[in-house]
Amino acid sequence: MSPSVAFCGNKLCYNNGASDYKMMNPKKQNRREFLRSGAAGLAGVALISGARGELFGFADAGPFAEIVEATIADLQAKMRAGKLTSRRLVEMYLERIREVDVKTHAVIETNPDALAIADQMDRERKKGKPRSMMHGIPILIKDNIDTADKMMTTAGSLALVGAPTPKHDAFVVGQLRKAGAVIIGKTNLSEWANFRGERSISGWSGRGGQTNNPYFLDQNPCGSSSGSGVAVSANLAAAAVGTETNGSIICPALTNGVVGIKPTLGLVSRSGIIPIAHTQDTAGPMARTVADAAILLGAMAGRDKNDAITADAAKNAAKDYTKFLDPDGLRGARLGLVLQFLPQRDREQALAYYKPFIDKFREAGATLIDVTFTQNYGKTAQDRTDVLLYEFKADLNKYLASRGAKYKTLEDLIKFNEENRDRELTKFGQELFVQAEAKGGLTDKAYLDALGRIKKATREDGIDAVMAKDNLDALIGPTSGAAWSIAAVAGYPFITVPLGLRDNSATGMAFFGKPFTEPQLIKYAYAFEQRTKGRVEPQFLPTYPKKP
């Protein structure tokens, strides 16, 4: 559900063995340098001078300013005080979807039962029985997560439009409903979580069309959780759920200027989520702040009897991740600084850009140690692709059989796409589908050997080795494809926190480390966020203005 190699240029490209094959813009983005002097003349955009003399652009950000950039804590406080109801909150977000999403195309479907669910949450609140911090909070979830309701679950493919409703909610959906969240709709995604063709367009699906970046509508939103990242950034919901196999939470969170948490494999159940690869797949929270992401993660995590790997979650999950939100949480931390994955073409400029942010760690009392990963990971590109192909065939066939849909196997989907080329294959092909179909079973020696090599490269010789060498508490550095891919393949946690804009791209700071260290990573990410406040509200500009 996302990419492994960072910047491919502003063209269609793929990434040597990750699950999100995407179009990626090469430029990183500069904090507070939102628009510069070339912006004059953009229709509908007013320009004012910022504190440092930059020009900022302000377009119509949509209705209900009172909920724009509002946090979950803000919304709960208003509901506790009787100034707001869940029903009214849902109405406001649905209206924002109607008015704003004509630009972004992030929401693929809204929930016809959303207001009724909100009414139930309001009745429970009146009785003094709120369920959790998520009680009555409107959220969106990605359209590859099963809901046993009036919404469809399609992974963006026309092949699953009209398929039988899943018999059960995905476990994570059940957790969210129990916590009192109001699922107001589903988000668009890169079709089949960006695992169909060797070339693809992030944020495009046959069912949902193209999702657009909320900062500059003609720029790449990244995938595959494009809709979730864009919707949160555009203030279409309080928070959203994405899924990831390799970067599909982190890349769209980075690109759309929000917080993304890719949890440790097993912290969040995989059951009821349309799969790519069981050794890497996970759902995770996407939000505008670390605190909101921590609240959502706590609601999502838990042991699922239908997903054996979550047994570890029962021993390692925190009941409440908000207790780790410490503004002084960086003091005394030993952190490995990962800079090797910065692009070589403008490395000096990138280092200069990131230096003030890196200095914030030292100012907060952390010790930074420069670290370098070995080249072993780069040698496993084909192994990584092969593992995904093997697992995709096995896992998807199992899922399709349980859905009772017309198309019951990967082979059936390949035929459907060929028969509907004018709707499904006009922009890119299905080479990965075909390659996966040609693979054998999960007992094949080739699969088992490849799986062993990639886990050793990312765990034993990767994150584990780098952290042990200098007795580190976590790893930090500019959010980049190689870093998130190492963590994704290892099954280890990763958080990205927005820094702002650098030219026409958003930037972020990464926090990653050993399995089930979400409490420490959240603590460090929150402390950093409080010192930087890098989140920039998008203005839905049609394009990035060219410099004169």
CA pair distance 300, 273, nearest whole angstrom:
13
Catalytic residue among 142, 186, 262, 393: 142
Structure tokens at 332: 């005394």
Beta pairing partners, 265: 268
Query: Which ranges in 287-424 belong to alpha helices (H)?
Result: 290-300, 311-316, 347-363, 381-403, 410-419, 421-424
User: Tokens 């029903």 label which residue?
Assistant: 87
Kind and range of the H or E element at 494?
strand 494-502
Tally of residues, the chain: 548
For residue 18, CA distances in Å to 270, 450, 492, 508 come to 19, 14, 16, 21
CA pair distance 269, 241, nearest whole angstrom:
13
User: Tokens 């593992």 label which residue?
Assistant: 387
Going by C-beta distance under 8 Å and a sequence separation of 6 or more, which residues neighbour residue 169? 146, 147, 148, 149, 177, 272
What is the identity of the amino acid at 43?
Answer: A
Kind and range of the H or E element at 119?
helix 114-126
Instruction: Report the alpha-carbon angle 204-205-208, nearest 5.
Output: 100
243 φψ region: left (φ > 0), alpha (ψ -120 to 50), beta (else): beta
319 is known as an active-site residue:
no
Catalytic residue among 224, 228, 269, 480: 224
CA pair distance 120, 108, nearest whole angstrom:
25
Going by C-beta distance under 8 Å and a sequence separation of 6 or more, which residues neighbour residue 359? none
Catalytic residue among 157, 248, 269, 505: 248
- Produce one character per residue of 29-58: b if its CB has 16 or more CB atoms within 10 Å, e if not: bbbebbbbeebeebeebebeeeeeebbbbe
**CA 35 distance to own-chain centroid:** 26
Q: Which of 495, 500, 486 is nearest to 523 (CA)?
A: 495
CA pair distance 209, 203, nearest whole angstrom:
8
- Contacts of 407-412 spanning 24+ positions with Cβ under 8 A: 407/159, 407/160, 410/436, 410/437, 411/437, 412/159
Secondary structure letter of residue 433 according to DSSP: H
248 is known as an active-site residue:
yes
**Contact (Cβ atoms closer than 8 angstroms) between residue 283 and residue 193:** no
Beta pairing partners, 371: 338
224 is known as an active-site residue:
yes
Is the preceding omega at residue 228 within 30 degrees of 0, hence cis? Answer: no
Q: Which residues are catalytic?
A: 142, 224, 248
